[in-house]
Amino acid sequence: LSMDVTKELEGMFDNDQEIIKKYSLGLISREEIIKNTENNKQTLGSIIKKYGFPTKIKTSQKAYKSATIVTLHCGDVNFMNSFLTEMRNQSEKDIDKADIGYLTDKINILKKLPQIYGTQYMKKDDKISFMPVEDIENIDKRRKELGMETWEEYKKKIS
């Protein structure tokens, strides 16, 4: 991808994180965060349509991560599913396999289904509670397949 497109994607990451920070501090409304997220999703959709999927090889690591984060935060299951399909069609060197787990779980939660990899949680009053997980006995086996740390390691990391 061109340097301009890479910089635009990287800027979307910074924008996404800044907006989330402002929202969590009560500086902007829920409507503002939704509008910003929708704008980022539309921009990303246009970039993918014009240039193809932004893999780590085609662009920078930050631009690739930005595309993934924008998708995770967009709340549009159809957009997320098409992005996930694209991810699954890439080679391991082009994506971070763990992102498949995060996106799969986020889609399942939005569809009111149990998550598969245990990535989705809520934090309230510094207390973390995980959304329901399917077949929890085999969660670490599934996480390992995507190169993810064990669920216990993940829980320690986010707490």
Query: Cα separation of 121 and 103, whole Å?
Result: 13
Q: In 10 A of CB 61, how many CB atoms?
A: 10
User: What is the pTM (predicted TM-score) of this model?
Assistant: 0.91
Amino acid at 138: N
Give pLDDT, residue 69.
96
> What pLDDT is stored for residue 76 in this prediction?
96
Tens-digit pLDDT profile for residues 27-86: 999 999 999 999 999 999 999 999 999 999 999 999 999 999 999 999 999 999 999 999
